[in-house]
Structure 1
């Protein structure tokens, strides 16, 4: 069971609405969704004595309307609404700069099911489309799903920018894109990916007819790529007619898909004084209700046909540098610790077996009387010894300096000796116990 929100796009001819108050007119223009709008032309001025009304039924949990807000004149910015026969209430179009092309009404959330809505006091308001929020069990057969560019099911890669600026149409009213935002790119290699279950797909954006230039993209659907280029030249009729920004511009269309799951990859390939502007996409679902909508996950990576360019995140770069430095410091610290440990071990070995040297002045007196069991070794180098001189050791095993305590953690030791007794008064202990150097904290 899916918990995602699902929006259904309904163009004005498919609303099956009842229009009242007078004769409603229909206008056609390429900038409107589906190319047309309806409006109460009899109420589109300050001298009008009548206002328009609209009644329709829909199945879902909410409904919104989009199109042109009325121009400013007495009481023109007020709209009266009644849902399911409840008491009417007044609302406004929330348009600070009328006239504008914008979503001009949004109902509250309603219980799932069929609902009736009545709009009155429509003073020149133009209706282009309705957006119905589907419930879990709203029938979807024959319906069109609309997905905004900011929907989390669309994953962008590259240097896309989110834009909330008004577009400038030229002759029709200026306004805002669907849900008031677009994703824009001027960088070849920027891409986005989207997965859906359906039988058709349309992608819409905005094209700047006032800018001479070219924008191109590849559309890869289930591995099959289609490249499309949009060019504005001095001979383009829309450029010559001073058309500026065309919203609801159809960038790509495929209406003959097999029912099932599909993967779309859009890759920007060229931008010359033009911007690739993505607003929304629509598709006809191949599932029957939101409750049975497949939970499609995006692949870990796209195949080579998408030519997707990815940018390495700054956080990953910083993390790699910090990790490398930490490893380097660890290796250096380990080397220094090993070297100090080795030096201390050598010092401890020297401390444990130490010869007691006889002063040179006394060696001459005692040399003739040295015991047969004496052993001669070369003395350690020092400022008080002469190379090649003999050192007389006491008879029997030499006295050993014992460590009274040793701690592996801090490697501490005292210089005390175990056992009693002393050597002859003519001998002087050459070694003094020295505490080992303390380790630096690594």
Structure 2
């Protein structure tokens, strides 16, 4: 599997210039926080700018766009350019939307600045495509529910491209089940794991168990008394656990689905929803899997001189900028 690094917009490695930027919270956002640029609400001479560096081959910026949003940007040492925004203009006011980003850039460390010129953009999280030299230690790695490393058993169904009341799910996909006994397993390398998904506000309940390496299960139960088929809450944490650094297996089993939660599936809105896992990588094994085998060593030199030795010194890797 190819990992993706996820960075919250409020991470300390992201810099915001200008008093137009404000941080706030919402339980439907990726980590419960977001950053908004309130253009026209401050007379400061500072140009509102977001500065961000990453190591990899691509980055995407997710959040909540506005109808008239326009952005300028710089990439590394480029001049100021106009961003070609990629989101669908029919979904303003929804979070989890890919607003803009870079794909297939040269592997390495890059610096991006975003300068909103109209609208009031909300940034929620960034998704980075790492390269072979990317350091994954201590990073938050996201596995989408469609990742081939996740093994589903039972009658799970997949939904994609749906815009919910609060926004879009991670990568636009969700797996769901209403059948007790259905399960999935996933292997991961790290020191913690969390499972997030979507909850609907309909009468009924559903529950599931979470077990790491065959250990005692942790129970999760969700119930709701009111009925509103039009309201769903994204980025809800179903399970989280710290583990010893290393490789582990997580098993999730659906144990109950009842009430109107069951009927909701018949309207193509699934009840037990699993959107993505967040794995904090303690070791960089995933990165090493991306590195090709090293070339064979050079033939020995009979009488190496200082110049020959100098030619065999390997250059250090580029610096890592979180």
- How do residues 293-332 of structure 1 correspond to structure 2 at under 5 angstroms? 293=289
Q: Tell me if structure 1 keeps the 8 A contact 2:87–2:98.
A: no
Residue 250 (structure 2) pairs with residue 257 (structure 1): no
Kindly state the Cα deviation for residue 95 of structure 1 after the two structures are TM-superposed: 1.8
| 1:115 and 2:110 aligned | yes
Query: Any residues of structure 2 matched to 1:123-162 within 5 Å, and which?
Result: 123-162=119-158
In 1, Cα distance between equivalents of 2:135 and 2:109: 11
Match of 1:283 in 2: 279
Q: Which residue of 202, 208, 214 corresponds with 2:194?
A: 202
8 A Cα contact 1:67 1:128, kept in partner: yes
Gaps of 5+ in 1: 295-442
Alignment partners' CA distance in 2, 1:184 and 1:82? 40
Q: Verify the 8 A CA contact 2:194 2:237 in the aligned structure 1.
A: yes
Q: State the partner residue of 1:63.
A: 59
Determine if contact 2:193/2:278 at 8 Å carries over to the other structure.
Answer: yes
| Secondary structure in 2 matching 1:96 | coil
Q: Is the 8 A contact 1:80 1:91 kept in 2?
A: no
Q: How many residues align?
A: 274
Contact 2:136–2:287 under 8 Å retained in 1: no
2:205 matched residue in structure 1: 214
Residue 93 (structure 2) aligns with:
99
Cα distance in structure 1, aligned partners of 2:204 and 2:254:
15
Q: Which residue of 1 aligns with 2:180?
A: 188
Structure 2 contact 14–50 (Cα < 8 Å) conserved: yes
* CA distances 1:32-79 after superposition (whole Å, capped 9, x unpaired): 1111111112358xxxx9974211112222111111111x2xxx2332
Matches within 5 A, 1:233-382: 233-234=225-226, 244-254=231-241, 256-272=242-258, 273-274=260-261, 275-288=271-284, 290-293=286-289
Q: Distance in 2 between matches of 1:187 and 1:50?
A: 56
Higher relative contact order (CA 8 A, sep 6+): 2
The unaligned stretches of length 5 or more in structure 2 are 262-270, 291-322
Q: For residue 230 of structure 1, what is the aligned residue in structure 2?
A: 222
Root mean square deviation of aligned Cα? 2.6
- How far, CA to CA, are the matches of 1:37 and 1:243 in structure 2? 23
Q: Contact 1:163–1:183 at 8 Å: present in 2 too?
A: yes
- CA displacement 1:242-284 (0-9 Å, x = unmatched): 9921100001110x20011111111111111321011100111
- Residues 71-82 of structure 1: matches in 2 within 5 Å? 72=67, 76-82=68-74
